[in-house]
Amino acid sequence: MPFEKVRSILVDQLDVDEDAVTLESSITDDLGADSLDVVDMVMSLEEEFDMEIPDEDIETMKTVGDIVRFIEARNE
């Protein structure tokens, strides 16, 4: 499941506790990501899942669940 990989990336990049990363976690509000963190996160996700994430899609990703659903939809 993509959630485990996404959580691992977020834990490493944002230096947050694994338990803090849930599907409902807000990337900026709950996990404290700033714009640079988001750019780094997107690059890591693109590399991990071998996909390109368009800027307009990045702007709609507010929670960890949004990221996971995007990846799952692209991998169907």
Asked if residue 76 has pLDDT above 80, the reply is no
Q: What global pTM score does this model have?
A: 0.93
Closest CA to 33 of 16, 45, 46, 56: 16
Mean pLDDT of 13-37: 97
| CA pair distance 31, 1, nearest whole angstrom | 21
| pLDDT tens-place string over residues 30-63 | 999 999 999 999 999 999 999 999 999 999 999 9
Active-site annotation holder among 34, 37, 50, 66: 34
Task: Clarify whether 15 is annotated catalytic.
Answer: no
